[in-house]
């Protein structure tokens, strides 16, 4: 199922990767360590949804309209560093299908704990 999902969603994955690369610096994918079956640690892949320097303005987002906050120096910026394209629609989670195909996580189940 995950391999079929990767094949069907490959145009969307490609568009998301291109948009991330064109709109920000840094890698397209973000790997975070997660603990899988029998305590085995692996890299859980996501599209990078954080903008550079996101921690500098995360406090400014408290009690603001979700996703956007006004900054006098740089205009409107996404709250908590999330990119509106990927995060609200869970597009950022689609690269985890790679982890499913590799047998590191299941397609359906609870969220993975940090090691």
Q: Write out pLDDT tens, residues 69-115.
A: 444 455 544 554 444 445 556 788 899 999 999 999 988 887 788 77
Whether 46 and 92 have beta carbons less than 8 Å apart is answered as: yes
Q: Which of 34, 41, 35, 30 is closest to 92 using CA atoms?
A: 30
- Burial of 6 from C-beta contacts in 10 A (0-12 / 13-18 / 19+): middle
Q: What is the pLDDT of residue 56?
A: 44
Q: CA torsion, points 65, 96, 16, 54, in degrees to nearest 10? A: 40
Helix boundaries (H) for the chain: 2-23, 96-101
pLDDT tens, 2-48?
999 999 999 999 998 998 888 878 888 888 899 988 889 999 998 88
Q: Please tell me the pTM assigned to this model.
A: 0.66
């Amino acid at each position: 199922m995950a391999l079929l999902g990767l094949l069907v969603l490959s145009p969307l994955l490609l568009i998301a990767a291109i948009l991330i690369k064109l709109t920000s610096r840094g890698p397209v994918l973000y790997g975070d360590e997660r603990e899988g079956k029998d305590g085995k640690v692996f890299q859980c892949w996501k599209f990078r949804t954080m903008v550079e320097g996101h921690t500098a303005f995360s406090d400014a987002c408290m009690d603001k309209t979700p996703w956007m906050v006004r900054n006098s120096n740089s205009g409107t910026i996404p709250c908590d560093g999330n990119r509106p394209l990927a995060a609200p629609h869970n597009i950022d989670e689609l690269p985890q299908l790679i982890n499913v195909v590799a047998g590191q996580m299941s397609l359906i189940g609870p969220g993975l704990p940090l090691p």
